[in-house]
């Protein structure tokens, strides 16, 4: 998250790649927290498509701690809030 905030895109995405390869699917107990962190990184970088894809993985699960209300209010998603895919995600799961 720090690398993304500093605008060091390549390094931030490299860390995301490492998380996906080494941790994401090995520990299902922390998977959602890790996916949410990855979505925040993509949002800070302004990548609406990647953010929406990460969030879709979480929202499509039957049991998730993520809610549409959080997505609407969390300022970390401000950079992608107007992205068409992010808006579609809010519409799809908002009902």
pLDDT score of 12 more than 80? yes
Question: What average pLDDT does the structure give for the chain?
Answer: 89
d(CA 82, CA 17): 26
Domain positions in the chain = 2-93
**44-77 per-position pLDDT tens digit:** 999 999 999 999 988 988 778 888 999 999 999 9
Task: Indicate the pLDDT class of residue 13, thresholds 50, 70 and 90.
Answer: very high
d(CA 19, CA 62): 24
d(CA 17, CA 60): 22
Kindly give, in sequence order, each residue whose CB lies less than 8 Å from that of residue 26, ignoring residues fewer than 6 positions away: none
Picking from 8-12, 19-23, 53-57, which range would have the lowest pLDDT averaged per residue? 19-23
DSSP state of 66: -
Count of helix runs (H) and strand runs (E) in the chain: 6, 0
């Amino acid at each position: 998250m720090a690398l993304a905030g500093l605008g060091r895109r390549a390094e931030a995405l490299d860390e995301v790649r490492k998380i996906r390869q080494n941790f994401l699917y090995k520990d299902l107990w922390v998977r959602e927290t890790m996916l949410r962190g990855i979505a925040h990184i993509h949002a800070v970088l302004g990548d609406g498509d990647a953010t929406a894809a990460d969030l879709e993985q979480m929202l499509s699960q039957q049991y998730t701690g993520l809610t549409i209300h959080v997505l609407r209010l969390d300022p970390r998603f401000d950079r992608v809030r107007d992205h068409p895919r992010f808006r579609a995600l809010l519409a799809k799961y908002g009902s």
